[in-house]
Structure 1
């Protein structure tokens, strides 16, 4: 069995145990962490917290302070009972005339689609972004997860295309996202909102048929939604595909785009777009690299900030499970099985630090009869789409994934998020637990913690507006699942060995097929124009490592 890797946390010099700070109780009951200190902190921080919504700090943002709009996501007195524009919101809807979307000067076809989605009241970010985007302003928006930012740019884009029908065949809108899953999700929102409009939209993402993408892009769809690498590929190698006439560019999840090493690709794409374009940039965090990207791509932009960074939903209940020996793989798996077999059994997303760990846990779940799918980078794009849809449609209860799914994915009715180990930083933690407790719904986040988690747990406690809770698992329950795990060790090894053999056979068959193609289709293959590349994936990885 693989050894459990340690998380990327600093070693602590303090000799006191984490158990001194958390009172653990019997399985099934809870105790709050630092209730007195939390109460004091909350009361003393209230006035400061309110001020952050109206103050301007031009050192944190690349734009003029006078252009900064700070918005709170807290509900106002008049809006507490209304439905916010989020696809997970399902309540009784009021008439279209009562909806404040009517006040945003939006056409009837788009209003009808908004109503059919169940959106009544714009979220704070939508309320500020949509009017500015409609008049052509560049925008730099810092929006936390679950704030409705996809709707914030999709609504004005579709409205502007509807108002100014262009008879010339050209790509008019380019939306850039960091991952394929987010691109697919973004397109789904555009399709739902544009169902009553004659607007063409296509994807440009890796993992799908390149030739099929080339065929549709050569017909110049109105909107192209894609990832940087594939967009660059089409710019260089797809005939008749050009960004010269692009009117609007959206950079979504800009901090994640830069974290993945796409800075040079983004600069190249922006250079290929019309200088007269409108640019909308959205980022969960405003790092120095995001500020540099904003300076490069935006002109006289309005800077919009929604709530302080790194805050979790107020409807999220956070629980922590102490593991005395965090490096003991079998023990950690046993804790996880106890949680998933006894307590959290419905609509659960589990996060892991590595793809190999997620896959091994998936094998264990499958052997034990727990309905689960996995989502990580070792799967093909088709497999990832299938797994995501399978979980979305409620055909299984557990989604086992790495952080590829922790950013921006909107999955309806996720009840619980479980972190197999503490994430490496507060930003990753907030993004992970943000998959539940969305749009005002209740949710639970459970994290397995050990001594290496001390510092980040302290940060989470200081930033939390609600008391944290601890959960313990009795020795008798833990021993039961340890025995279960030892009993299936041989099955786990056999499954892993079988998969390795299948992979080797698949690679051999692929090489044979390549050789056959070269023999029987040599003239056609060598007659094709040689593809050019912006830079290789290995070069990008090396540069990203040097930056870190």
Structure 2
């Protein structure tokens, strides 16, 4: 539901135009805005420069500043930062804020946990403050983020920074009451939203107008720009004015001309503060991988949790069904540490509750899909365990970025199957990710497979969870485009099923279809070789088309099931 950074009670603003304190403050703001605009204009860094290269701020140029007090910010923004205990700027903030305050488009890339959120929230509230924005001016700033949890987190930070501003802000995410949002959304100055929910309001909310927009922010921009959000993002951009300030931030950034053209970026500043760093991950992050056999996957995961009962751990898996099975099974087996699950199939209220529970816990295990890998700032995470290989190096960087945030230390462990080792390690090396190999100590092993088998034999519902989890995982491998890492034919399916506690394999329709396709192709090849007439070639093409249609039919039947 929409939350307000500045509550408006009974339709009356905090300061009514007829009151003396309002007039006094209004006059003071006018004077401050004039001074700020002059400082921003005169002290802006030259285009194409990185303020990090400067030793410190000077009287004529604020670029190079290391503290928030040294850059031209309004008094009320400074007060909000001080109250939230923000005094010194991080590297990405030092690089981005001088350019962003000057109204320039930004492409910012920095390691996870480096403070990117303030790098765009401060320019947002400052720009609207200098424009003397009110609720009658419409939508002034839009912040898009790929996940609901990240949107909630950004909104909480916005409330801190903008606590003393007379600006209204809204949080638009799926899983909330659309009609209640529609009653207020048109009077909001700042929106923090997920793409799908925002587009829904653009299509269905009467009077929703984004034409006054002054600033657009894409957090985790690489995820929003990929194919999963392409159509939604294009539809949103069609409703936004081209003459706006645009800022993109992520741990891994794009420079593709196609993406920049879509966003109407004007001479953007490329600020990759860790581009020259020796590693792409935080320096205080200890990273390791362990090569494991499919049959021992659950045993090693259980052993890990049992030997880290006092730690705060995130366990990443590939699919929602795996997360659900792991959570339900391990909950029944009682490892001795609180367990929670977070995935895209959960209702929004439950997802939010789990997010806050994990944030506040001192020791807990969170089973999660990549919905938790993007931008979320979980306090004091000790370990990140990746039970399944990430789809690429960028996803790996985002996953391990949930620990070792800011100046804190953390540890990360990746399980790789023998078939995944060579390709995955090559991808990580190419992305400047240092990982060392660990070997399993058999003496510390605590097998859980026999207990899982006994549990599944008594619990039909849990057995169904296990079957769906195994099927979804194997299908995710089958659909991965990078066959140097993900080749389902090289996976020990029987061993993996045994690890899940399953005595027999579930039906794997997608593997059967692949076998059928190979047979069809082989038959067509033989027919083509034996035929000397062109008509034979045409028959071969017709056979191939019919095979394709049968595959599409099977796929539709499977999706309906």
What's the TM-score once normalised by structure 1's chain length?
0.69
C-alpha deviation, 1:495, in angstroms: 4.1
Contact 1:350–1:401, Cα closer than 8 Å, also in 2: yes
Aligned 1:517-536 pairs, distance under 5 A? none
Report the 3-state secondary structure (helix = DSSP H, G, I; strand = E; otherwise coil) of the residue aligned with 1:183: helix
Aligned 1:340-489 pairs, distance under 5 A? 340-343=305-308, 345-369=310-334, 370-394=337-361, 397-451=364-418, 452-460=420-428, 468-474=436-442, 476-478=443-445, 480-489=447-456
Contact 1:243–1:274, Cα closer than 8 Å, also in 2: yes
Partner residue, 2:284? 315
Aligned 1:486-505 pairs, distance under 5 A? 486-490=453-457, 493-495=460-462
Distance in 1 of aligned mates of 2:271 and 2:80: 26
Aligned 1:51-66 pairs, distance under 5 A? none
C-alpha deviation, 1:248, in angstroms: 0.9
Match of residue 297, structure 1, among 239, 264, 287: 264
1:336 aligns with 2:301: yes
1:104 aligns with 2:78: no
Aligned 1:178-327 pairs, distance under 5 A? 178-218=146-186, 220-287=187-254, 291-294=258-261, 296-308=263-275, 311-323=280-292, 325-326=293-294
Report the 3-state secondary structure (helix = DSSP H, G, I; strand = E; otherwise coil) of the residue aligned with 2:225: helix
C-alpha deviation, 1:404, in angstroms: 0.9
C-alpha deviation, 1:492, in angstroms: 5.2
Report the 3-state secondary structure (helix = DSSP H, G, I; strand = E; otherwise coil) of the residue aligned with 2:228: coil
Number of equivalent positions: 409
Distance in 2 of aligned mates of 1:394 and 1:180: 21
Aligned 1:122-137 pairs, distance under 5 A? 122-137=89-104
Q: 1:422 to 1:466 in 2, by over 3 A?
A: closer
Gaps of 5+ in 1: 1-65, 79-97, 501-541, 543-548
Q: Deviations over 1:111-136 (max 9, x none)?
A: 22212322221112111221222221
Work out which structure has the larger RCO, using CA pairs closer than 8 Å and 6 or more positions apart in sequence. 1
C-alpha deviation, 1:107, in angstroms: 1.8
Report the 3-state secondary structure (helix = DSSP H, G, I; strand = E; otherwise coil) of the residue aligned with 2:307: helix
Over aligned residues, Cα RMSD in angstroms? Answer: 2.9
Contact 1:99–1:120, Cα closer than 8 Å, also in 2: no
Contact 1:71–1:125, Cα closer than 8 Å, also in 2: no
Partner residue, 2:492? none
Distance in 1 of aligned mates of 2:428 and 2:189: 43
Q: 1:479 to 1:186 in 2, by over 3 A?
A: closer
C-alpha deviation, 1:151, in angstroms: 0.5
C-alpha deviation, 1:300, in angstroms: 2.3
1:145 aligns with 2:112: yes
Q: Deviations over 1:365-418 (max 9, x none)?
A: 211224111111111111111111111111760111001110111111011000
Q: 1:314 to 1:72 in 2, by over 3 A?
A: farther
Report the 3-state secondary structure (helix = DSSP H, G, I; strand = E; otherwise coil) of the residue aligned with 2:238: helix
Distance in 1 of aligned mates of 2:446 and 2:212: 65
C-alpha deviation, 1:458, in angstroms: 4.0
What's the TM-score once normalised by structure 2's chain length?
0.67
C-alpha deviation, 1:312, in angstroms: 1.1
Larger radius of gyration: 2
Q: 1:159 to 1:67 in 2, by over 3 A?
A: closer
Q: 1:142 to 1:497 in 2, by over 3 A?
A: closer
Report the 3-state secondary structure (helix = DSSP H, G, I; strand = E; otherwise coil) of the residue aligned with 2:282: coil
C-alpha deviation, 1:102, in angstroms: 0.8
Report the 3-state secondary structure (helix = DSSP H, G, I; strand = E; otherwise coil) of the residue aligned with 1:488: helix
